[in-house]
């Protein structure tokens, strides 16, 4: 079974968002996981800083940053979500496809037409992101102090985004890597799971999820990982995904 499409619903009308939620709940092949909602483009940009979305169901006319301008901004981002415009107006169809939208739905949206659009998105994502084989040949090339080191991904326990760089933690040591956390998450989702907006952990390294008091958040959670003594904090937003990853690893 294909993984569910992680979908963000974007429309300034609450009733329109509610109708899409209801329609999406009945969609299969592919199924959909709704990861958020937004009423305008600025909110989408903020949410995409901390969540991964495969698809934006995007209204055109919204206050502030509208759907067309948002799609234009996201177009240049590596790994940006696919866009399906959902609008009451057919006049923007040409612009939508110039922006490489996968599909264009007019309101009121029919369930059958929405399912067709989701299938297009699934094919689009499969073509855009062919599976990356996992194996010993998968490495990070890390340049530190005049030397280049090949660090196999199989040895990486977690990665954290800190300032402009990533900390790559293995059981032996920490490395500084000039790369993108989102890019690694996208290309190696089968190996790593996001646990915080600034952290990925190796699925195979997870041993325990426990309550954790870091002195600031007594209600927090953290993971204990094989090979390293320090816990890695889990955000409330990612808690469900972490628990699901632990179930899948059984």
Q: Mind listing the pLDDT tens digit for each residue in 52-107? A: 899 999 998 888 888 888 888 888 777 789 999 998 876 666 666 677 788 889 88
Comparing CA positions, the residue from 3, 235, 236 lying closest to residue 118 is: 3
Report the C-alpha gap between 228 and 82 in whole angstroms.
Answer: 37
**94-103: which pairs have CB atoms within 8 A and are 24 or more residues apart?**
95/68, 96/60, 96/68, 96/71, 99/68, 99/71, 99/72, 99/75, 100/75, 101/71
Least-confidence region, from 102-116, 127-141, 156-170:
127-141
Beta-carbon contacts of residue 204 (< 8 Å; ≥ 6 apart): 191, 226, 249
Name the residue ranges covered by the structural domains of the chain. Answer: 5-128, 139-248
Please calculate the CA angle 81-113-104 and round it to the nearest 5 degrees: 45
Q: What is the mean pLDDT of residues 28-49?
A: 90
CATH superfamily of 5-128: Response regulator (3.40.50.2300)
Q: Which two tokens stand for residue 85?
A: 């415009």
Q: Which two tokens stand for residue 59?
A: 């209204």
The predicted pLDDT at position 249 comes to: 59
CA 178 to chain centre: 20
Using pLDDT thresholds of 50, 70 and 90, give the confidence band for residue 153. very high
pLDDT, averaged across the chain? 85
- Domain 139-248 class? mainly beta
Q: What is the mean pLDDT of residues 164-183?
A: 90
Please calculate the CA angle 122-240-116 and round it to the nearest 5 degrees: 20
Query: What are the distances in angstroms from CA 109 to CA 36, 62, 73?
Result: 19, 18, 26
Q: What percent of the chain has pLDDT over 90?
A: 45
């Amino acid at each position: 079974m294909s993984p569910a499409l992680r979908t963000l619903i974007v429309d300034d009308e609450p009733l329109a968002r509610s109708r899409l939620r209801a329609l999406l709940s009945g969609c299969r092949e592919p199924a959909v996981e709704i990861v958020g909602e937004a009423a305008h483009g600025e909110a989408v940009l903020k949410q995409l800083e901390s969540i991964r979305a495969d698809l934006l169901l995007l209204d055109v006319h919204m206050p502030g940053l509208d759907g067309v301008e948002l799609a234009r901004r996201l177009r240049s981002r590596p790994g940006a979500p696919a866009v399906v415009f959902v609008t009451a107006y057919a006049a923007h169809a040409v612009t939508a496809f110039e922006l490489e939208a996968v599909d264009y739905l007019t309101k009121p949206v029919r369930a059958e037409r929405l399912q067709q659009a989701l299938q297009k998105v699934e094919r689009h994502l499969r073509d855009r992101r062919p599976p990356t084989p996992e194996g010993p040949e998968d490495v990070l090339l890390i340049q530190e102090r005049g030397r280049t080191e090949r660090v196999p991904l199989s040895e990486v326990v977690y990665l954290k985004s800190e300032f402009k760089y990533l900390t790559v933690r293995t059981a032996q040591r920490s490395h500084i890597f000039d790369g993108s956390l989102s890019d690694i998450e996208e290309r190696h989702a089968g190996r790593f799971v996001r646990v915080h907006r600034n952290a990925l952990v190796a699925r195979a390294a997870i041993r325990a999820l426990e309550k954790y008091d870091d002195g600031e958040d007594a209600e927090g959670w953290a993971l204990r990982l094989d090979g390293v003594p320090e816990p890695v904090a889990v955000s409330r937003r990612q808690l469900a995904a972490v628990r699901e990853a632990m179930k899948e690893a059984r």
